[in-house]
Amino acid sequence: MCPADKIKNTKRGYIIPIGGAEEKLDNPEILDRFVEICGGKSARIGIIPTASELEDTGRNYEKLFRKLGIKHAMVLPFETRDDCEHSEYLDYIDKSDGVFLTGGNQLRLSTTLGGTAVAQLIRRRNAAGMHVAGTSAGAAFMPEHMIAGGYEGATPSPDLVTMAPGLGLTNKFIIDQHFRQRDRLGRLLTALAYNPFAVGIGLDEDTAAFIDPSDELEVVGSGGITVIDPTDLSYSSMDQARRGDPVSLIGVKLHILVAGGRFDVESREAAAE
């Protein structure tokens, strides 16, 4: 799924992947920022809990957004591909300021939403200015190339990651979540070895990348973001490696950014604040 074409004289909305386990009670900084960008208390937010197998996930986020002052927050229960053609739900997204994708299993998102009217609409609306946030599985699903699964470990290897088509809001990033907590450096490096044109974003828990319309990333939250830039990759042994073999990558650049840190994908420049 490719990103929707830019609309003349219109800025794309923010793309906001969250590493999972975001703070929801004491200091919900990430969710507060999302609400602010969407327009504050008058914002209209659609909640898509498709990734989760828990019945109360959507309602819990609906209650949370209402607690944060949002009057118009609605769960959009896309449980089947037929649901993704539901005119009432599509109309709600068409009039929304933001969409929030919950955590769970990203393959539930890709197999249920992929290629449907709702996926197409979210891409068009993001291109027209609607903001899209997703946590954990919802974050992984955002780009064109999605990490569908894999294994722990720091060293890349051919069978360390499974890729699948994602939502397609951007083709400039590949996103992984729960990054430091689940030792996922190796699988993100593996994904980039297969797709060295993209930038890798490894999101710690309770940490978000607020990617603005010009593709500048800002870090918000209590953890860090690992940015992997393969622009200057000069050698990869991926084409020679067998299953289980370690892979050599030379020339990859890595940044660790914390709250306030920024990365510009056009210039490939990182800054501490």
Spell out the per-residue pLDDT of the chain, length 273, in tens. 667 776 767 899 999 999 999 999 999 999 999 999 999 999 999 999 999 999 999 999 999 999 999 999 999 999 999 999 999 999 999 999 999 999 999 999 999 999 999 999 999 999 999 999 999 999 999 999 999 999 999 999 999 999 999 999 999 999 999 999 999 999 999 999 999 999 999 999 999 999 999 999 999 999 999 999 999 999 999 999 999 999 999 999 999 999 999 999 999 999 998
Residue range of the domain that includes 153: 15-263
Residue 75 is assigned to a structural domain of this protein? yes
- Do the domain assignments include residue 1? no
Of 196, 110, 193, residue with least CA distance to 155: 193
Which residues are within 8 A (CB) of 71 and not within 5 positions of it... i.e. 6 or more apart? 41, 42
Determine which one of 144, 178, 218, 255 is catalytic. 178
Flag whether 10 is in a domain.
Answer: no
Q: Active site includes 72?
A: no
Q: Is 136 a catalytic residue?
A: yes
Domain membership flag for residue 9: no
What is the value of pTM for the model shown? Answer: 0.97
Which CATH number characterizes residue 179's domain? 3.40.50.880
Residue 272 within any structural domain of the chain? no
Is residue 237 one of the residues assigned to a domain? yes
Q: Is 205 annotated as catalytic?
A: yes
Position 273 in a domain: no
From the list 22, 62, 144, 205, the catalytic residue is 205
Total domain count for the chain? 1
Beta strand 216-221 with 207-211: parallel, antiparallel or unpaired?
A: antiparallel
Catalytic one of 96, 136, 157, 236: 136
Tell me, yes or no, whether 5 lies in a domain: no
